[in-house]
Amino acid sequence: MAVPADEQPTLRGITLTRSFSDGGRARNVIDDVTLDLNRGEITLLMGPSGSGKSTMLAILSGLLQPDSGQVLAHENGDWIDVWRLSPREREQFRLRNCGFIFQGYNLFPALTARQQLEIVLRWGDGLPGREARKRADEMLGLLGLGGKENKKPAQLSGGEKQRVAIGRALIKKPRFCFADEPTSALDWGSGQVVIDLLQKAAHEYDSTIIVVSHDYRLLEHVDVSYHLEDGRLTETDVPVNRGFEPWRTGP
Partner 1 sequence: MNYSLATLWHERPRFLPGIGAVAFSAVLIALQCGLLLGLFKITSIPVDNSRAHVWVGSPEVLSVDLGRPIQMTYLSRVAGDPRVKEVEPYYQAFASWIKPDGTSELCIVIGTKLDNDSMGSVNQLSPEMRDALTEPNSIVVDKAELRRLGVKGVGDYAEINKVRVRIVGETTGLKSLAGPYVFCSRPTARLLLRAMTPQDHATYLLVRCHNPEDAPGLVEDINAEFGDRHDMSAFTAEKFSFRSRLHWLLKTRAGVALGYTALLGLLVGAVVTSQTLYAATTASAKEYAILLAMGIPRRKVTLTVLVQSFWVGLFGIALAYPIVHLLAYAGQLIEMTIPLPWELLVLSAVVTMVMSMIAGLVALRSVRRIEPMDLLR
Q: Which residues bind partner 1 (CB under 8 A)?
A: 54-55, 57-58, 61, 63-64, 91-96, 98-100, 102, 104, 106-111, 115, 118-120, 122-124, 129, 152, 168-169, 172, 180
The β-bridge partners of 79 are 74
Q: How many CA atoms lie within 13 A of 108 on its CB side?
A: 12
Query: What's the min distance (Å) between Cβ of 208 and partner 1?
Result: 16
Query: What's the min distance (Å) between Cβ of 210 and partner 1?
Result: 13
Residue 41 vs 180, nearer CB to partner 1:
180
The β-bridge partners of 78 are 75
Query: What's the min distance (Å) between Cβ of 64 and partner 1?
Result: 6
For residues 201 and 217, give the distance between their C-alpha atoms in angstroms, rounded to a whole number: 19
Query: What's the min distance (Å) between Cβ of 100 and partner 1?
Result: 5
Residue 177 vs 238, nearer CB to partner 1:
177
Query: What's the min distance (Å) between Cβ of 173 and partner 1?
Result: 13
Residue 61 vs 199, nearer CB to partner 1:
61
Query: What's the min distance (Å) between Cβ of 88 and partner 1?
Result: 9
Residue 111 vs 249, nearer CB to partner 1:
111
In total, the chain counts a number of residues equal to: 251
Residue 7 vs 215, nearer CB to partner 1:
215
Residue 16 vs 58, nearer CB to partner 1:
58
